Structures are given as structure tokens and as C-alpha cells.
């Protein structure tokens, strides 16, 4: 079908409800018609994500139906046993999330597949846990994570609780693409699904089991119970799914001085108190800082709408609050977990951490200091989960901690995705331990790490390039970088260049090339001599291209100066490339 045929189908065919047909007929801008219908919303390795609205390139119940039908057919390939294992479904607080979750559940039921549907919004990591706990074949979570309010998404998980692996994602995609016709996918009624035993509502029984596992990760539970109330915490769920479980986990461990930001406590699909609900950006902490100053809080915590990412701000010695970067949080938690397990005699000989290639090299140095193995994987937490599974099944490493610079963290073996509830518990305990046992705070811990291993600073820039033209521009930027020989950036020599699209590493000093073992991905990473890097990659979930910067120096001033210069040089290169494209 071409754009005109798709537009006509969606605006006229009675299969689409009246609201959808009216919305489509109301679009008069040819460019918007093209953007909504020139392609299908892309189903990637983890699922799909897009702007809510009518059209094949938007998030709506008909896209949900088509994608779920593709998933259903793959589940049915596993026969009656796989259909009985079933699919677990959760959702966050976004617009249409409950409706999309129910739509997916009833399409699966229509295919004879058992569905476990959460009774209300739940964090994404609990969905991962529930898939494992219930021994389901697959899972779905309706969420757009930290994206703006206009977005929603659909993430697919497989039986190990991790995001669907590439081979299975390809099978699902093949089923989706094989169905040219959008018509004829009808969900079962709720009444019939329940009567046939195909729809089971779940809730507290999963919550309590999950929280017991989360609390088991505490390294100093006696300290938490005895002195947890001394750590004053302000927490905001940013109108999302983390509210009850984060507060309950902390409370049950002994952290009794937790105050919630009331204005951001309840679900709100419009996220009216923040520009957009991403704990990476400073604006999300403005209300929490007001609470912190009033309550003299030690620690501010923020989770995103599906509660898989955690942002942190700390009170300084001067009484103000400074937000930590995702890398700083990851390094401190890596240090805390490894150092405390070693002190307790609980660090195994084959201990390992897993991080992404976009995350700081400082964590590698910390892990090696404690004689722990480091596995670097592609950007995306699903690769961390896949490596953990590989390690577990192969018996060649014992997973201790994993993180990515974009505020995702994980410990334990019962969840296969980043988990802000787990991260909140470990971070609160670490803050309590350093405060009550060592008499220092996280700033002191970071300073000690920097003095020991070097001052690593990092930053990130993004260019939003939306629509068809945006995709073309991103491709041209990546091509331009690949065609240029870059041996240094701002005077810092490049040691090696990793091209994950071509799966080749080039040693800049010798010119030799080596095969990379990680999967193919459109990523370029320039590693500096002595530590640090610059990395370029188009986002897999948003219409933007991302630039990652990490530098190392002997002192903070030199690191800041170096970071500024490297960023300026790279962004100037990008500006020149774009000027040529636009010309």
C-alpha cells in the first residue's frame, strides 16, 4: 500500500472506530499525512515506541493489535504448552497505557493464549520479575519510559525475563510484516476471556514476592533496621509507577524518614510538573529540592514513569543539592557493592560487573582494583541482561552489578532489566553506611575514587532529527564520521576506533584492525590513550543522534578544561557536516 491507500483505508474503513477515522480525515497537511503513513512504526529488538495518534507510524490500538497478533503467532508456535505458559502484561501511567495493555491482553486471549494482567500500573522491572516468577513464555509492558508525554511504547520480554532477543524479535517482526492487511484482528471480550480462564488479574501476590527479593540484596540489613531512620530521603516518582514499591521497599528495610513529593506522587499522563519525566534532567528535581531544603534531607531520589531509571541529587557540605550523573551513580554503587562484599567475605573469585560501551571507563578501573571481571556490551540494558544470562548459564562469572550511563542499574539475579527499586535500596543503604559508619557522604566517596584512579568527567549532547528527513540526516552524519580518519580530538590522541556497524576495531597507532565480537550496531567509539572516549550513535528509541564524551585528567580543573575542548571540537564538526547537508 502507498501513502494515499493507507490514508484512505484509515479514514474510511469501518474497521477503524469513528474517533480514528475523524482524526485521520482531519489531517490536511501533506507532510503530516506522509509522516503518519509513509511507514509502519518500527518494531526494533525490544519493541516499538512512538507518538500517540492515528496512523501506521503512530501508537494506537490498531498498531497494538497488529504487533500483538505477530507476537501471538510466535507464542502459538510453541504449541499448547507455550500458550498455557502465557504472557504477563504491565503498563505505566501514560495516556492510553491501561487501554493498550488490555487491548494486547484480549488479542492474545483471542488466540487462545493465557494472559496475566496486572491490576494497575506497575514498574517495568516488576514485569521482568513476574515473567520469571510465573514461568511465562513472554511479557509485554506498555511504556515510553522517560519520553515526552506525547509518546507511548510497547516492549516485549521473553521467558528469561529479559527483553526479547534479536532472533525472536526478528521472528515476531516477520509475522507482523507478513500481514499486509490491517483489518480482521479482533480482541476477545473481557467477559469471555475471564470465563475461559485466559485472563488472570495479578497484583499483591507478585508485589510481596518481588519486594522480598529486593530486600535480600541489602548488604547491611542490621544497619538499615537500626539506623535507617537517620537518613532523610525525599523521593519523587515523577507521576509514574514507582511510588508504592520504592517507598515500601525502603520502609520495610528501616528507612523511615522518606518524604514523597506530593505534587508528583499520583499518576499523571500529562506530567504537568516537569518539562518531561526524565530523571536525567535537572528540572525534574526542582520540587524535590524545595522539599529537601525544607526537610534538611540528605538524599533526593527520582524514578521515571516506568521506574526503571533512577536519578539522584545529594546535599552538599554547603547545604545545597547537586545532581549526580548516571556514571557517577554507577561508579559509586559499583565501588560500594564490590568493597562491601569483599569486606564481608562475600565477593566470589569470579565476580563480574557488566556495563555498556557508553558508560565511563572509571568503573573498569574500580572493578579491576577489586579483581572483578568487566564485560562491556552495546548500549541498551537488554545487552547487560543477555550477558548476565550468558554468564550464569556458562558458569564463567558471577554477576555483581550492572549499569548504563543513562541512569539504569541492576543487582541480583531475579530481574533481567534495569531496576530503580533495586537501585533505590542499594543507594540508600550506601548513603547510610558512609554517613553512619565512615562519617562521609557520596561526594567524599567520589573524591576518594577520583584521587585513586583519576578524574573522569563525562557529558552528553543530542540532536533531535525527526521524521524521514531526520533519519536521512543521521545516516549522513554517521557516514561522514566513518569516512574521516580521526587520530586525535582536541589534542588528545585516539588509541582505537571501534565501528560496531562494521564490527571492526582499528588500532590508531599501528593501523591494524581486529574483529569485534559484539553484535552489529550503528555506533562509533573513539577511545583515548590513557582513558576516556567519544562515542556517536543514533538513538534506537527516539528521533535523535547522541554524542557521548568522557575524559580523564590528573585533577578536576584539567578534566573540566579537556571536556569542554573535546565537546566543542566534536560539535563544531557536526555543525559543518549539517551545513553541507542543508546546502
567 contacts 491 by C-beta, under 8 angstroms:
no
DSSP labels for 98-118?
A: HHHHHHHHHHHHHTT--EEEE
330 contacts 403 by C-beta, under 8 angstroms:
yes
**Number of Cβ atoms within 10 Å of the Cβ of 204:** 8
Cα distance between residue 224 and residue 490, in whole Å? 47
Mode of pairing for the β-strands spanning 87-91 and 138-142: parallel
Catalytic residue among 11, 97, 145, 521: 145
For the question of residue 145 being annotated catalytic, the response is yes
| DSSP designation for 216 | T
Q: Which of helix, strand or coil describes residue 486?
A: coil
Phi then psi for residue 433, to 5 deg, are: -60, -50
Q: What angle do CA 553, 490, 499 make, to 5 degrees?
A: 95
Close Cβ partners of 280 (under 8 Å, ≥ 6 residues apart): 146, 309, 311, 326, 406, 407
162 contacts 390 by C-beta, under 8 angstroms:
no
DSSP labels for 502-516?
A: TTEEEETTT--EEE-
CA-wise closest residue to 253 among 408, 133, 424, 420 = 424
Q: Where are the beta strands (DSSP E) in 104-162?
A: 115-118, 138-142, 151-158
Please name the residue ranges forming H helices in 454-555. 467-483
324 contacts 442 by C-beta, under 8 angstroms:
yes
Cα distance between residue 141 and residue 74, in whole Å? 17
| DSSP designation for 163 | B
Q: Which residues are catalytic?
A: 145
Amino acid at each position: 500500500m502507498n501513502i494515499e491507500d493507507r490514508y484512505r483505508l484509515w479514514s474510511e474503513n469501518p474497521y477503524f472506530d469513528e474517533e480514528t477515522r475523524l482524526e485521520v480525515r482531519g489531517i490536511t497537511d501533506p507532510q503530516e499525512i506522509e509522516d503518519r503513513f509513509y511507514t509502519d512504526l518500527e518494531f526494533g529488538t525490544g519493541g516499538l515506541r512512538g507518538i500517540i495518534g492515528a496512523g501506521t507510524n503512530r501508537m494506537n490500538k490498531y498498531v497494538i493489535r497488529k504487533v500483538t497478533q505477530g507476537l501471538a503467532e510466535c507464542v502459538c508456535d510453541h504449541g499448547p504448552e507455550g500458550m498455557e505458559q502465557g504472557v504477563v502484561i504491565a503498563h505505566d501511567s501514560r495516556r492510553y497505557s491501561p487501554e493498550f495493555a488490555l487491548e494486547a491482553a484480549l488479542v492474545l486471549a483471542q488466540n487462545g493464549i493465557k494472559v496475566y494482567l496486572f491490576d494497575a500500573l506497575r514498574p517495568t522491572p516488576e514485569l521482568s520479575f513476574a515473567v520469571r516468577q510465573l514461568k511465562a513464555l513472554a511479557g509485554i509492558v506498555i511504556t515510553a519510559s522517560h519520553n515526552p508525554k506525547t509518546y507511548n511504547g510497547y516492549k516485549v520480554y521473553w521467558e528469561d525475563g529479559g527483553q526479547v532477543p534479536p532472533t525472536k524479535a526478528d521472528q515476531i517482526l516477520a509475522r507482523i510484516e507478513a500481514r499486509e492487511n490491517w483489518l480482521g484482528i479482533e480482541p476477545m471480550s473481557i467477559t469471555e476471556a475471564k470465563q475461559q480462564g485466559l485472563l488472570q488479574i495479578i497484583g499483591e501476590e507478585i508485589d510481596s514476592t518481588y519486594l522480598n527479593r529486593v530486600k535480600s540484596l541489602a548488604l547491611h540489613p542490621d544497619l538499615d533496621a537500626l539506623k535507617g531512620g537517620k537518613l532523610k530521603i525525599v523521593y519523587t516518582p515523577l507521576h509514574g509507577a514507582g511510588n508504592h514499591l520504592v517507598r515500601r521497599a525502603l520502609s520495610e528495610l528501616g528507612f523511615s524518614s522518606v518524604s514523597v513529593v506530593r505534587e508528583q506522587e499520583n499518576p499523571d499522563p500529562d506530567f504537568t510538573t516537569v518539562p518531561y519525566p526524565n530523571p536525567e534532567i535537572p528540572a525534574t528535581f526542582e520540587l524535590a529540592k524545595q522539599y529537601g531544603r525544607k526537610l534538611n534531607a540528605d538524599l533526593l531520589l527520582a524514578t521515571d514513569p516506568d521506574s526503571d531509571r533512577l536519578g539522584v541529587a545529594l546535599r552538599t557540605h554547603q547545604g545545597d543539592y547537586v545532581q549526580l550523573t548516571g556514571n557517577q551513580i554507577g561508579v559509586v554503587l559499583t565501588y560500594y557493592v564490590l568493597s562491601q562484599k569483599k569486606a564481608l567475605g562475600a565477593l566470589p573469585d569470579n565476580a563480574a560487573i557488566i556495563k555498556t560501551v557508553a558508560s565511563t571507563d572509571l568503573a573498569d578501573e574500580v572493578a579491576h582494583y577489586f579483581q572483578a571481571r568487566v564485560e562491556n556490551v552495546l548500549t541498551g540494558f537488554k545487552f547487560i541482561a543477555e550477558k548476565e544470562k550468558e554468564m550464569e548459564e556458562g558458569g564463567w562469572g558471577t554477576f555483581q552489578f550492572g549499569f548504563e550511563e543513562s541512569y539504569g542499574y541492576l543487582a541480583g539475579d531475579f530481574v533481567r532489566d534495569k531496576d530503580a527499586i533495586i537501585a533505590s535500596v542499594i543507594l540508600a543503604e550506601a548513603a547510610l553506611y558512609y554517613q553512619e559508619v565512615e562519617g562521609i557522604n557520596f561526594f567524599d566517596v567520589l573524591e576518594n575514587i577520583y584521587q585513586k584512579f583519576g578524574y573522569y568527567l563525562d557529558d552528553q549532547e543530542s540532536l533531535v532529527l525527526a521524521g524521514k528527513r531526520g533519519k536521512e540526516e543521521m545516516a549522513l552524519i554517521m557516514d561522514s564520521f566513518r569516512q574521516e580518519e580521526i587520530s586525535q580530538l582536541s589534542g588528545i590522541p585516539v588509541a582505537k576506533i571501534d565501528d560496531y556497524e562494521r564490527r571492526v576495531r582499528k588500532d590508531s597507532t599501528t593501523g591494524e584492525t581486529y574483529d569485534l565480537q559484539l553484535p552489529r550496531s550503528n555506533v562509533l567509539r573513539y577511545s583515548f590513550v590513557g582513558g576516556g572516549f567519544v562515542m556517536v550513535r543514533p538513538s534506537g528509541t527516539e528521533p535523535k543522534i547522541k554524542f557521548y564524551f568522557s575524559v580523564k585528567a590528573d585533577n578536576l580543573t584539567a578534566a573540566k578544561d579537556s571536556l569542554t575542548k573535546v565537546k566543542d571540537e566534536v560539535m563544531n564538526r557536526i555543525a559543518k557536516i549539517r551545513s553541507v547537508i542543508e546546502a
